[in-house]
């Protein structure tokens, strides 16, 4: 049976990773129809959407799910000699990417089904929904020279998430040995979801850079 991270770390993840490098200070929980931000361009991306956990924005939700994947990729590599922990960590990564591809863990001996660290929305769903919102956006955003770069950052992240999902499923299915090399590759991909890859120009950008560009096009105080 898989094991979880220490209790305090788990609590931090379950409340939305608001202390992480990427999430702190811009969660914008609970913006309703009366909020002045509700009618802003790309409000579902930057501020709030009903379907997301806590009614938070799609970008925030995506970055939290990405950080969950990164933390469990780090955990898997650190405990690479413990097959049970590795499998549990890989399962958490898959759930953060897309709950539909996560393993169906059996209940514990107590009859309690283990809780997931991810938020249940999924990084890949958040990325797809963001792309849809951007495609429908008009006004200054549609005309901005930064828009193609933002889309490229999202596409980079989606590609890495898909590669990460394939590696994770192969490990759980026994098609790939959870060696130090394969776990290092998983960590490299997971880290790049938010941080991007260490290459020049937009080709390496991830969600953190997408947020920087989005904030330039749609300042958070534009409708206040």
From the list 32, 64, 43, 77, the residue with the least C-alpha distance to 171 is 77
Q: What confidence score (pLDDT) does residue 193 get? A: 96
Q: Which residues contact 153 (CB under 8 A, 6 or more apart)?
A: 196, 202, 205, 206, 207, 209, 210, 213
Please state the φ and ψ torsions of residue 212, each to the nearest 5 degrees: -60, -45
Q: How far apart are CA 223 and CA 210, in angstroms?
A: 21
Q: What confidence score (pLDDT) does residue 150 get? A: 93
Residue, of 90 and 201, whose pLDDT is higher: 90
> What is the tens place of the pLDDT at every residue in 28-83?
434 444 344 556 668 889 888 888 888 899 999 999 999 999 999 999 999 999 99
Contact 16, 64 (CB under 8 A): yes
pTM: predicted TM-score of the whole model, two decimal places: 0.79
Q: What confidence score (pLDDT) does residue 39 get? A: 62
Q: Please classify residue 158 by burial: count the beta carbons closer than 10 Å to its beta carbon, then call 0-12 exposed, 13-18 middle and 19+ buried.
A: middle
> What is the chain's mean pLDDT, rounded?
79
Q: Which residues contact 79 (CB under 8 A, 6 or more apart)?
A: 85, 86, 89
Owner of token pair 């002045």 = 36
Q: What confidence score (pLDDT) does residue 62 get? A: 97
Contact 130, 62 (CB under 8 A): yes
pLDDT grade, residue 105 (50/70/90)?
confident
> What is the tens place of the pLDDT at every residue in 151-192?
999 999 999 999 999 999 999 999 998 999 999 999 999 999
């Amino acid at each position: 049976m898989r094991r979880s991270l220490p209790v305090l770390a788990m609590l931090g993840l379950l409340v939305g990773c608001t202390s992480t490098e990427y999430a702190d200070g811009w969660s914008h929980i609970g913006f309703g129809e009366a909020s002045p931000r509700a009618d802003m361009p790309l409000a579902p991306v930057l501020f709030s959407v009903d379907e997301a956990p806590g009614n938070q924005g799609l970008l925030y939700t995506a970055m939290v799910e990405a950080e969950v994947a990164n933390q469990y990729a780090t955990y898997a590599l650190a405990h690479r000699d413990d097959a049970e922990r590795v499998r549990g960590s890989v399962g958490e990564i898959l759930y953060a990417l897309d709950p539909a591809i996560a393993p169906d863990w059996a209940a514990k001996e107590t009859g309690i089904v283990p809780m997931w660290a991810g938020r249940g929305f999924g990084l890949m769903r958040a990325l797809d929904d963001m792309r849809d919102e951007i495609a429908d956006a008009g006004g200054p955003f549609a005309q901005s020279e930064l828009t193609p770069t933002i889309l490229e950052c999202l596409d980079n992240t989606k590609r890495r998430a898909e590669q990460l999902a394939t590696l994770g499923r192969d490990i759980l299915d026994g098609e790939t040995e959870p060696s130090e090399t394969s776990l290092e590759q998983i960590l490299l991909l997971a880290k790049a979801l938010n941080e991007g890859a260490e290459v020049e120009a937009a080709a390496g950008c991830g969600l953190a850079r997408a947020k920087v560009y989005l904030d330039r096009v749609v300042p958070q105080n534009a409708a206040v």
